[in-house]
Structure 1
Amino acid sequence: MLMKIDLESDVPIYQQLHNSIMEGIASKELAPGDSLPSVRAMASDLGVNMHTVNKAYQILKQEGFIQIHRQKGVVIQPDQMPPADEPYLESLTGKLRPLISEAICRGLDEKQFLKICEKLYNDIQKVGEQWKP
């Protein structure tokens, strides 16, 4: 999987890396049990600091999407992905609220906003269908 990092972006690199790995998991480009490069290898491949990669990996570990083993390295959660439980839904609502507010301020109506969300959701799922065996 090709990690999408924009060194000129306002989004911190660790967040971009986190988002890229999450999209890989969501699209099934990264399957449960798949290995990710070591912190050192990923940092070298991307040309970023090891602490940046480590921060992204630690957040993904805390969220339950990866495991970090001394012997196996970094692995996509092989058992079960974290559920969409109440704390997650609250967090999701908190993240979406300012995006929806800005969209409304910029003149997007509900239909336009939902169409964008639906397109993105379907685009990510379509990538996953390409990777199915």
Structure 2
Amino acid sequence: MLVRIDPSSTVPLYEQVAASIRGELAHQRLGPGDHLPAARELAESLRINVHTVLRAYAKLRDEGLIELRRRRGAVVTGHASDHARLAALVDDLIAEARRVGVGPDELVTIVRGKYQ
């Protein structure tokens, strides 16, 4: 698994870590039952604070993509690939919305209009 971050980006590091892992899930380089690196190990390899990685893992857990298990670490859930693919599409949508100057409220209105 390859996690990439850009320290010069305005996107918070924990968001970059989470997005990178979502990308691995979306491209099926990670699948159900796979273990993510220990937070301390990943933090050291990326040269970032361990709490940043833990925050990224907590975000992924809250999204239902991983389970955090005591003594077993972070494990990819069974339905992670579908959620990850959708999350990656949303990331792309948000990036495009920012590029063309569409704010969050307007984007939500557009999505709600299309969803119905």
Q: Distance in 1 between matches of 2:14 and 2:93?
A: 20
Is residue 2:115 matched to residue 1:103? Answer: no
Shift of 1:4: 1.1
| Residues 52-91 of structure 1: CA deviation (Å, up to 9, x unaligned) | 00100000000000011113211111x223867xxx8xxx
Write the mapping of 1:39-50 to structure 2, written as runs, cut at 5 A.
39-50=39-50
**Residues paired across the two proteins, number:** 97
Q: Which residue of 2 aligns with 1:80?
A: 79
| Unaligned 5+ runs, structure 2 | 103-116
Pairwise CA RMSD of aligned residues? 2.8
Q: What percent identity do the matched residue pairs reach?
A: 36
Q: Cα–Cα, structure 1 residues 97 and 72, in superposed 2: closer, same or farther, change >3 Å?
A: closer
Displacement of 1:38 in angstroms is 1.0
Query: Following the alignment from structure 2 to structure 1, what is the Cα–Cα distance between the partners of residues 13 and 20?
Result: 10
The 5-angstrom pairing of residues 2-81 of structure 1 reads 2-77=2-77, 79-81=78-80
Give the conservation status (yes or no) of the 8 Å contact 1:63–1:82.
no
8 Å contact from structure 2 (residues 38, 73) kept in 1: yes
> Structure 1: 5+ residue runs without aligned partners?
106-133
- When residues 48 and 103 of structure 1 are mapped into structure 2, their CA distance, relative to the original with a 3 A threshold, is same
Listed one character per residue, the Cα deviations across residues 106-125 of structure 1 (whole Å, up to 9, x for unaligned) are xxxxxxxxxxxxxxxxxxxx
- Describe the shift of the 1:28–1:45 C-alpha distance in structure 2 as closer, same or farther (beyond 3 A): same
Q: Bigger radius of gyration, 1 or 2?
A: 1
What SS does structure 1 have at the residue aligned with 2:53? helix
- TM-score, normalising length: structure 2: 0.71
Q: What CA distance in whole angstroms lies between the structure 1 residues aligned with 2:54 and 2:80?
A: 21
Report the residue type matching 1:31 in the other structure. Answer: G
SS at match of 2:16: helix
Cα gap change, 1:24 to 1:101, in 2 (>3 Å) = closer
Q: In the TM superposition, what is the alpha-carbon distance from 1:39 to its structure 2 partner?
A: 1.1
